[in-house]
Structure formats: C-alpha cells, structure tokens
Amino acid sequence: MMALGAPLFPNELVEPILWHPVIFAYALVISGADLIILASLAYISRRMTKAIPLLLVLGVSFFSAALLGPLADLRQPSRAPLIFSLAHLVPTETHPGFSFIALYANLWLILIILSVIFLLFYQSYHLHLKSQAGGRLRILYRILSLGVGNEERYKKLKPFLTLLAAITIIPAVLWGIYPSVLVVFQTWLFLWRNWAILPLIFFADTFVASTAAAILVYYIIKLAHLDYDVLSPLLKVHSAGCVSVAGLLGVQLLLWNQWFDGSPLNTAFDVVVPIIYYVIALLLLSFILALASLKVTKLSVFVSIVALLGVILNKWNTLVNGQLISRTGLGVLSLELPPDWLLTTLSPIAAAIFIFIVLSSIFPLEVKEVG
C-alpha cells in the first residue's frame, strides 16, 4: 500500500476506496429519477409532451437498476433485504437519528411503484391501439392496456395521471440528490464534509446526465429524422443544467480557496481541484453545442457525448477521488481498485440499458397525442 503524504489513520490504508467505483455508476443510473421528474413535469404542464414516452420509459428503466449499485458494494449482499425489514428510520435511545441509506432504499420502492403505475396508465390507450394492430404480443398489450379501450376512457384518466405525476415528483426529487445527501451529511470524509453545496450540484448534474442520455438515445433511435419539438425542450433543460453545474462548481472552488488558503489542509484538495476545471470546461462546451444544436439538430449527439464525459469525470472525481483524502485532512491515499471493478461498475449501467431495450419493445416511444 502506498500513501502520498501523512499523517493517515492506519485503518484507512487497508481499503482506501471503501465505496468502490460502482458508487459512481449508480450515481449515473440515478439520473432515471430526473427523467421521471421531467416526464411528470411535462405531463402536468402539457409542455414537451412529445418527449414524455421516451423520458418515462428511459427513466423507469434506469431508475429500476439504481439499487444494483449499492447491492454490488455490500460485503454481505445476502443480507440486503434487512434494509427493508430492519430499516433504521425512527430514532430511539439505542439507535439515535435515522439512516439515509434505509430511507432512500424505501423511497426507491415507493418511486418505482408510482412511476410504473404512471407509465402503465399513461401508455394504456396506446397499448390498446398496439393490441388492435395484431402481432404476437397482442395479448400482452391488451393486458397492459388495463382495459382502457377508447379515447373517452383515456381522457377521463387525465386528472388521476396529473395527480400521480405530481406525487411522483416528490420521491424523484429526493432521489435526484442521492448519494450527495449521504456523503455530505452522514460521512466524515474530509472533502465531502467540506462540500455543503454538493446536493445542489448533484441535483443539477443529474438533469445534465438524464437529458444527455435522453438526447443520445433519441439520436440513435431517430438518426436522420430528428424532431425539433422533441429535441428542443431537452436541449434547453440540458443547457440550463450545464450552466448551473459549472457555476456551482466554480462557487465551490472559490469557497475552498477562501476557507483553506494558507492552511496545510489546502494541499489535500490537489487530488480533486484540477479535474473540476476540466469538468467545468466540458460542461460549458456542451452548453455551447446545445445552443448550436437548436439551429443544427444533428449536432445534438456531440452535446450528449461531451456532457456525458463531463458528468462521468465529475462523478468519479467527487465520489472516488473524494475518498482518497484522509479523514485527517492532511494526507492523500493512492488509488487502488479491486480487480473486478470495471465489470462491477458497468453492470448497473448494462442492466439499465437491458431493461430499456425490453421496455421500449413493449411501450411505444412515440405516441399520438390524445385529448
């Protein structure tokens, strides 16, 4: 084991990265929660309605894989169900406080149920139309149409779906800032403890990741036939997200400079600060490309790629490099990854893509507007 600088606590040397890089992968998959927020907001406001099916199917697919990440990081994965059955949610004399991990695991269950109900009822009439078109899966489509067999019945669902969308936003917003809430408020790692605006950055960052993923998927599906009405609102949300994250990262750099300038603790930040400058540059480039894509839609694929590079770099820097700074604040550990880290890290993302492929073969990603 190598360590750069001192002093360090001896137990830190055993496993410098206690939360393996999979934490960074599921932080990306959590973007599904933001896609669900966007779909819900679009339904309530009746704006960017053409993008709703894509946002919803992609959001549910990604979010359903969100717990695979932490599961892969448990040293006792067979005991994972205890998070639900013994959830530490209520403070007692022997167990003061409550656990964010337990809270979010239970919120995941609630959000999955709500968003799947929303998806099913939103798609019900469209699945009915698919069942009438025939094909091998017509019985499945008919079952999933939930008996909504005509436009009148579908229109009557609107108040219910609006209410459902509004309720769904609450757990989705809470999930949008996980795991930043956990790392800022329930850990004592030096970087995270001194990064109070991290939840804000995460919230904005997941909008960047979710819109970038949606734009990329839309580009792959449509290729030469990009619809401006679908793309334009996504690009606008994406641009706002990029500028917000870049701005918030800049603010944090200024704060650290003010708090630690001249202090021996300042050197610990060297492991993360240079990368933050690259992230800011990539996000600003994506913002410029997004503006250009509003005129030349084919550029949108570059918006997505550049933004995803920025998001990946940012998440890795925050969650993996952040763990390299010792609790003493005076030493930096060297990065040592477990041998199977790449496969483990990619698995939640691969699972999310697989679920999307399955769901998108059932639920249409483009529907005719009704009502």
Partner 1 sequence: MACVAACAAENNVPIGVFRTWVERHVRADGNIVFVPKQCNHCENPPCVKPCPTGATFKREDGLVLINDEICIGCGACIQACPYGARFVNPVKGVADKCTFCEHRLAKGLLPACVEACPTAARIFGDISDLDSEIKKLVESSNVQILKSWAHTDPEIYYKNLPKEADI
Burial degree of 81 (CB within 10 A; 0-12, 13-18, 19+): exposed
- Residue 118 — φ and ψ, nearest 5°? -60, -45
Of residues 1 and 163, the one with the C-beta less far from partner 1: 1
Q: Which is nearer to partner 1, 36 or 72 (CB)?
A: 72
Minimum gap (Å) between residue 191 Cβ and partner 1: 12
Give 101 or 117: the residue with its C-beta nearer to partner 1: 101
Rounded least distance, CB 192 to partner 1, Å: 8
Using the minimum distance from each CB to partner 1, give the nearer residue, 49 or 328. 328
CB of 28 to partner 1, least distance (A): 20
The span from the CA of 162 to the CA of 224, in Å, is 33
Q: Tell me which residues touch partner 1 (CB under 8 A).
A: 7-15, 18-19, 70, 73-77, 79-80, 82-83, 86-88, 93-102, 105, 182-183, 186-189, 326-330
Q: Which of 241, 209, 208, 212 is nearest to 303 (CA)?
A: 212
From the CB of 334, what's the least distance to partner 1, in Å? 16
CA nearest neighbour of 54 among 213, 206, 223? 213
117, 154, 124, 119: which is closest to 142 by C-alpha?
124
Nearer to partner 1, 16 or 176 (CB): 16
Please identify, using beta-carbon distances, which residue of 93 and 369 lies nearer to partner 1.
93
| CA of residue 33 relative to chain centroid, distance | 6
Cis peptide before 53 (omega within 30 of 0): no
Smallest distance, partner 1 to C-beta of residue 349, A: 21
Report the C-alpha gap between 158 and 155 in whole angstroms: 6
Nearest to 307 by CA among 354, 242, 369: 242
Nearer to partner 1, 84 or 354 (CB): 84
d(C-alpha 117, C-alpha 133), whole Å: 24
191-221: burial string, b at 16+ Cβ within 10 Å, e else: bbebbeebbbbbbbbbbbbbbbbbbbbbbee
Smallest separation (angstroms) from partner 1 to the CB of 77 = 8
Question: What letter does residue 7 receive in the DSSP assignment?
Answer: -
Whose tokens are 């966007």? That residue is: 38
- Number of C-alpha atoms within 13 angstroms, CB side, residue 194? 24
Question: Cα-atom radius of gyration of the chain, to the nearest Å?
Answer: 22
Q: Strands, DSSP E only, in the chain?
A: 3-4, 332-333
For the CB of residue 27, give the shortest distance to partner 1 in the complex, in Å: 15
Take residue 33 and report the two structure tokens written for it. 């929660």
Closer by beta carbon to partner 1, 89 or else 281: 89
C-alpha–C-alpha distance, residues 310 and 312, integer Å: 6
Smallest separation, CB 23 to partner 1 (Å): 10
Minimum CB–partner distance for residue 12 and partner 1 (Å) = 6
| Distance in angstroms between the alpha carbons of the first and the last residue of the chain | 64
Residue number, 260 or 302, with CB nearest to partner 1: 260
Q: Which is nearer to partner 1, 141 or 190 (CB)?
A: 190
Q: Closest approach of Cβ 105 to partner 1, in Å?
A: 7
